[in-house]
Amino acid sequence: MSRITREEVANLARLARLDLAEAELDEYAKQLEIILESVAKVGEVATADVKPMSHATGLVNIFREDKVETSLDREEILKSAPATEDFRFRVPRILDEE
Amino acid sequence: MSSYSDAINKYDPVLGLETHVELSTKSKMFCGCATDFGAEPNTQTCPTCLGLPGSLPVANKIGIESTIRIGLALNCTIATYSRFARKNYFYPDMPKDFQTSQYDEPLCSNGYLDVLVDTEEGSKNFRVEIERVHLEEDTGKLTHAGGATGRIHGANYSLVDYNRAGIALVEIVTKPVPDTGEYAPLVAKAYVTELRDLLRGLGVSDVRMEEGSLRCDVNLSLTPKGSKTWGTRTETKNVNSLRSVERAIKSEIERQAIELNNGNTIKQETRHFQEDTGTTRSGRSKEVAEEYRYFPEPDLVPIAPDSKWIEELRSQLPEQPSIGRARLAKEWGFTDLEMRDVATLGAVDLIAETISFGASPSAARKWWAGELARKASEDGVDLTVLKISAKDIARIDVLVTEGKLTDKLARQVIEAILIGEGNPDEVIAKRNLAVVSDDSALLPAIKEAIEANPEAAAKIKEGKVQVVGVIVGAVMKKTGGSADAAKVRELVLKTLGS
Ligand SMILES: [Zn+2]
């Protein structure tokens, strides 16, 4: 039984903005199948009374005070961008967006 | 019969509102960057809000408390355990490629807000139920170059400023609101107005729709009368003033009714409200459903408010806007109807501020709910957007009370302030608008008026003082309303020896 279909891999690639060739879709479907199979082993031990864990520390309510700290130097930030203009990041236009 | 009443006769609208409120915390939600509106582009960013590797977000306590206070004010249940979630998407407005938000564990849920709307059967209460109130972060601001609306023709790129990315943003989502019938647009407007007043009262946001710190999306569907199944809904974005909320719903009701009447189906889609035409237009239709792949944010620990903390926040809540308005109406001597009008115009705070600067309540109401409300309606904007302040109006009222301005002159002063000529005193000096009560300035006009009205003058000389109005009127006309009427009367009578 396969846990992930070729179509699902194609959809994931689309969401992740990865341009995968036909052959790659087959290859990654196979690899992801192995990963999912391994992870599914956890499901065999976990019973209904075990809550899914998202945080390992058990900590709650860690906050910072509402205090302004110095931001990064703008020149410094923009230096690492591929393109800038008017002190802004320049990005390809996403068509038909407002 | 209008297309609106025709639509309402055949269909029942079902409303839904999603409101985004930018909190007025000094620093961003998960980092210490400042949140000043209008700051130089990209001067308020750091590794955390830019999503640079190795950065670690920490939640702003005031952001959390503000969200809980909003939830409490909206009669919500506060979660005892609540996590942030990553909403994954690729769009340059978020440098991290995800937005920190909340998914199935919002901080607050199941509340309500009551709003009053004037109906044919008098004032009626509508309960708008709140589905959830959750906390997330705002996105960066894109300026598009090229295309039909872009700044630079022929160019095909966007410029991004991340100053706004990471500012605390609260989303308030209503449950579907049925049974509002023809009042749907008014209920929606009353809800947003009431919500804005409530948020301002809480002091959690500056709630300026024109600056985007309060933004509204409107969901609407139509159900054929008698049917139990709700129709397909559309979501209209870009509804950025109280007036637009009302107009967007009205036009969307009309549009959907026409589609249904023609036997078409309503497409589930995002639409955009167009301020100039007052209608909505279809947005880009997405061929694939959005998939955000939400998962719990591992870098932020869960929030677990205990009852002690919640009760402490509850005890600090200010009075509800409706109770506050009743108190103010009494204090200011307004009737219920006058107060409701003022509230509908969104003028309560402006009037309160004007009074605090020394104006009388009746004068403050007269200007804001009269002259200025008319101007705002002409320009199609909310009162708060007008380029005149509560302080200006208070100063004008003081000048009228002191007899230095007549109502007519005051209107001219307001006119000039609105077009940016300065504060009341500057405008009066520049345009020479002060009331003339100086004998030497008035006497030539009086002499002329007497000569032009010999019959009236003769009667006054005979002692028929009531005729003096004719001469005073002529002087007022001659001086363009700038003369001190009482002074003119006195001088006319003196000149004619009566
Ligand atoms: Zn930052």
Say if B291 is an interface residue toward chain A (CB within 8 Å).
yes
All structural domains of chain A with their residue ranges: 6-43
Q: Is B393 exposed, middle or buried (0-12, 13-18, 19+ CB in 10 A)?
A: buried
* Domain end (from B385, B413, B431): B431
The complex's ipTM works out to 0.88
Q: Name the residue among B407, B408, B493, B498 with its Cα closest to residue B446.
A: B493
Task: Tell me the pLDDT band of B289, cut-offs 50, 70 and 90.
Answer: low
Q: Does position B185 have pLDDT exceeding 80, yes or no?
A: yes
The packing angle between helices B184-202 and B336-344, to 10°, is: 90
Say if B302 is an interface residue toward chain A (CB within 8 Å).
yes
The size of the A-B interface in CB pairs under 8 A is: 130
Task: Tell me the pLDDT band of B445, cut-offs 50, 70 and 90.
Answer: confident
Distance from CA of B156 to the nearest CA of A (A): 6
Same domain, B424 and B447: no
Would you state the structure tokens that stand for residue B376, as one six-digit string?
């705002």
The DSSP element (H or E) to which B327 belongs, if any, is helix B321-332
State the best of B42, B68, B91 to mutate against chain A, taking most chain A CBs within 10 Å: B42
For chain B, the 3-state helix, strand and coil shares in percent, each to the nearest 5, are 40, 20, 40
- Rounded to the nearest angstrom, the distance between the alpha carbon of B136 and the centre of ligand 1 is 15
- Rounded to the nearest angstrom, the distance between the alpha carbon of A66 and the centre of ligand 1 is 13
Query: How far is the C-alpha of A80 from the C-alpha of B243, rounded, in Å?
Result: 44
Do residue B160 and residue A88 have CB atoms under 8 angstroms apart? yes
Do residue A74 and residue B43 have CB atoms under 8 angstroms apart? yes
Same domain, B426 and B451: no
Half-sphere exposure of B387 (CA within 13 A, CB side): 11
Task: Tell me the pLDDT band of B148, cut-offs 50, 70 and 90.
Answer: low
Same domain, B36 and B123: yes
Same domain, B423 and B444: no
Q: Which pLDDT score, from 0 to 100, does residue B286 have?
A: 57
Distance from CA of B125 to the nearest CA of A (A): 37
* Domain end (from B392, B410, B431): B431
- Domain with B488, as residue range(s), is 439-495
Q: Nearest chain A residue to B146 by CA: give it.
A: A93
Contacts of A91 in chain B (CB under 8 A): 92, 157-160
Q: What is the mean pLDDT of residues B302-313?
A: 97
Number of structural domains, chain B?
A: 3
User: Using CB atoms, which residue from B60, B284, B301 is nearest to A97?
Assistant: B284
Same domain, B105 and B181: yes
Q: What is the mean pLDDT of residues B484-497?
A: 85
Do residue B44 and residue A71 have CB atoms under 8 angstroms apart? yes
Q: What is the mean pLDDT of residues B336-348?
A: 88
Same domain, B448 and B408: no
Q: Name the residue among B223, B220, B172, B164 with its Cα closest to residue B199.
A: B172
Residue with tokens 């302080």: B391
pTM of this prediction?
0.82
A10-24, pLDDT tens digit by residue? 988 988 889 999 999
- Tell me the three state secondary structure of residue B60: strand
Q: Nearest chain B residue to A93 by CA: give it.
A: B157
B213-243, pLDDT tens digit by residue? 999 999 999 999 989 888 999 999 989 899 9
Q: Does position B36 have pLDDT exceeding 70, yes or no?
A: yes
Same domain, B427 and B445: no
Same domain, B268 and B333: no
Same domain, B290 and B141: yes
Same domain, B221 and B274: yes
Mean pLDDT of chain B: 91
Q: Does position A98 have pLDDT exceeding 50, yes or no?
A: no
Q: Nearest chain B residue to A80 by CA: give it.
A: B52
Residue B59 CB contacts under 8 Å (≥ 6 apart), including other chains: A62, A63, A64, B29, B30, B84, B300, B303
Contacts of A92 in chain B (CB under 8 A): 156-158
Q: What is the dihedral of CA B477, B482, B487, B488, to 10 degrees?
A: -20
Report which DSSP code applies to B266: P
Task: Give the range among B268-277, B424-433, B480-489 with minimum mean pLDDT.
Answer: B480-489
Say if B51 is an interface residue toward chain A (CB within 8 Å).
no
Strands (E), B81-167: 85-88, 98-101, 108-119, 122-137, 141-144, 157-161
Same domain, B268 and B165: yes
* Domain end (from B375, B410, B431): B431
